Amino acid sequence: MKQTAPLQHNYHHGDLYQSLLLTATEMIAEGGTESLSMRKLADRVGVSRTAPYHHFKDKNTLLCAIAEQGFERVETLLQEVRTSASPEPLATTFTQYVHTYIALAYQHREQYDLMFGREIWRNGTPTNSLLERSRQHFKSWLSWIEQLCQQNVIQTGDSVLRTAQVYWATLHGLCRLLNDGIYTEQSQLEEMANTAVNMMLKHQTTA
């Protein structure tokens, strides 16, 4: 509420909340979720072990906040792609999105793992805020697939919902396969993305 408060050190540390979020994201990017301990984080930020607990109830809550930012990023990407009045045909736009999505997941692999990993969704408890944002993102995706179906870019005999689920699963599966380094490497990324797009767009085509 106070906007005129002097920046920096308006309290003990300043904006510790943001500082924690930022540093934690860095640490995760460097060495994954496991390399992030609340104690090391506090150390790196320069506060005592338990200081973070006044800004994040849990380690889980902190992780949820980071995951949430990841969802914001992909949501932004999706919206940008959808609203960009590109002269390209919609199929091309879709293809580009797939490539960008996979590239993004690879670029922020650790955060991506966090977004969909068991750390939050199985062990931990997703924050309401995170739940909402992730659901909203899937709705955006669903809505786009619906549009693509209506405009005959995607032709499927199955329901839009199922199609959206399976298509996203394909995308997600590719990302995991890549991120986990199983059966493949990043160099094959482009080709695999193209193959995936072919599979999706030519799904039940009659010509």
Partner DNA sequence: CAATCAATCTTGACAGTGTCAAAATATCGC
Partner DNA sequence: GCGATATTTTGACACTGTCAAGATTGATTG
Question: Please, which of residues 83-142 interact with a second copy by CB under 8 A?
Answer: 113, 116-118, 121-123, 134-135, 138
CA distance 187 to 96: 17
CA distance 134 to 1: 28
Give the C-alpha distances (Å, rounded to integers) separating 181 from 109, 176, 177, 184, 189: 11, 8, 6, 6, 12
Side-chain half-sphere exposure of 31, counting CA atoms within 13 A: 9
Choices 47-55, 65-73, 77-85, 159-167 (CB under 8 A): range interacting with a second copy: 159-167
Question: Please, which of residues 60-119 interact with DNA by CB under 7 A?
Answer: 60
* Residues 16-45: x where in contact with DNA by CB under 7 A, - otherwise, as a string: x-------------------xxxxx-x---
CA distance 154 to 151: 8
Amino acid letter, residue 7:
L
Give which of DNA, a second copy, none residue 75 binds (C-beta under 5 to 8 Å, depending on kind): none
Binding-site ranges for a second copy (CB under 8 A): 32, 34, 113, 116-118, 121-123, 134-135, 138, 156-159, 162-163, 165-174, 176-177, 180-184, 188, 191-192, 194-196, 198-200, 202-207
